[in-house]
Each structure stands twice: as C-alpha cells, then as structure tokens.
Amino acid sequence: MISTKLQDAINAQINAEFWSAYLYLSMAMHFENEGHAGMANWFRIQFREEQAHAEIFMNYLNSRGGRVVLAPIDEVPTSWPTPLAAFEHTLAHEEKVTSLINNIYALAVEEKDYATCNKLDWFVSEQVEEEETARGLIDRLKLIGDNGLALYTVNQELASRTYNVPAPLANAN
Ligand code: MG
C-alpha cells in the first residue's frame, strides 16, 4: 500500500502530465493553423506521449492500492510568436517536469518506498531525453533564423516522427 503523501504527489503528477498533453496539443493546433504541418505532427506525438505518461502513473497507483483522483486541467496558452518560442517553451516546461519527478523521487526515498523509486527511474531517463530533444531543436532553429528553406527542411523532418508506445505501457499487458 502506498502512503497518502505519495499518492497525493502522484495524483498531482498525473494532472501535470495531462497538462503537458494539453499544452502540446495546443501547440499542434497552433502549428496546424500556421501551415507548419511537420511541427504539428511532432507536437501531436508529444501529446500522445504525455497521455501515456499519465496512464503509466495511473496504472502504477492502482497497482499499489492507491486511489486515482483526476483533477481539472488548467488552461494552456494558444499561440507562440515563432517556432523557436514554442520549442523554448517546451524545454522550459520539460525542465519543470523534471524537477517535479525529482521531488517525488526524493519523497519516495524519504519514505523508503523503493517500488516507487523503481517506477520513477524510467521517468528520470525519459526527462533527460525530452530535454535533450528540445535543446537540439532549439539549437537548430537558432542557426536557421529566418531561412525559409532550412525551416522547410526541419518541418519535413518533424513530419516523419511516428508514435511509439512508451516501454512501461507497452510491457504492461
Ligand atoms: Mg511527461
């Protein structure tokens, strides 16, 4: 059985993951509207991944005899001045999510709840990847500046991204 304190922290994280999903869906809709179909595709996949993250936490809480409580999802921004601004927002947001995960980890260590530490390990690695990807795209967009052809190429590349079910969900059944 999981402690009430950890249960509350994981419920807050479930909400944060759904907020992330909502944020990236909003970015996808923004880029769709702006005619950047590749970026829209990339953020649609981000959206699905974040939903999967929430699902992993929900499954975990249930498996530990906890109670999942779905709270309202706060409003998200709806537009970004440039693609660079959207990816900079993505990085800043992922850095925040990393600190949230780290805080739950610290709590789990304090409570000697090693099963929760074990579950969080995947998220710790995932956050390194999320930040690295966003940082890489920011670097490229900064180099590109307002070069339309280079921006077109990045868009084409992001259009080819496909969704892979995250490992903890893929192995769940
Ligand atoms: Mg996430």
For the chain, what is the mean pLDDT? 96
- Measured in Å, residue 45 CA sits from the centre of ligand 1 at 12
- Measured in Å, residue 59 CA sits from the centre of ligand 1 at 15
Q: Give me the pLDDT at residue 172, please.
A: 67
- Measured in Å, residue 54 CA sits from the centre of ligand 1 at 7
Global confidence as pTM: 0.95
| Residue 118: band (very low, low, confident or very high) from pLDDT cuts 50, 70, 90 | very high
Nearest to 53 by CA among 24, 84, 75: 24
The whole-angstrom separation of Cα 170 and Cα 32 is 29
47-85 pLDDT, tens digit each: 999 999 999 999 999 999 999 999 999 999 999 999 999
